[in-house]
Structure 1
């Protein structure tokens, strides 16, 4: 299979996986997160959307981890498409989740290499950005595939 066809399949499957993961949103165990979204200033935040997308992102990350651990190095096109598309799906959902966090709380978000610094009400936190790590793995796999197909 040529590279254009391969990546066309990857993006189609990544889109389908993203829709499947987002469709799991109604079964997310939200619990009292909606009530926990009350800030010290008295503003009520509805946390069901960021929590639901975060759960969908977690499922995409688990599919990527499981598929890369089990199928990395295989010659099967199906398994390689599964690895790349689950990674792209995770990266999209990861940054969509950060966007929803920004829209919900309006914190200051600074993207650093492999980290994201979030500042809200004077409190700072550093979060490991798995989206960047997965993106590097996907780009490395693409570079390796392009190099082997040129030869």
Structure 2
């Protein structure tokens, strides 16, 4: 069961990541200007998003290959996606003088919902695959 669920999670993580990739700056969806941000902040944030995307693809590959140890990494990735979209949807970071385009808003809302499902499902599968971890039980030699 865990291997099949891991493949479902891999597909879900790939969809979440592809939706993020569709929001690349200067693309047809993300049209807001961030010229007011310092280059360090702008490129630092973009580097974070690139690493999140690449790490997510690597995690999806590991999950697809049957590595259930990557389930907790999927949880962390999902939490990071929720944080990124939550900060943007709340208008906290990154800010822009331009209004958020409706398609961008819709994609961020859908991707946030998918990331929540990713976190909950990944943690549930991990917890079922590792019933003794995290419950205060210890092993004896």
TM range (shorter): 0.3 to 0.5
Query: Whose strand fraction is larger, Structure 1's or Structure 2's?
Result: 1
**TM-score, structure 1 length as denominator?**
0.43
**TM-score, structure 2 length as denominator?**
0.45
Higher RCO (CA 8 Å, separation ≥ 6 residues): 2
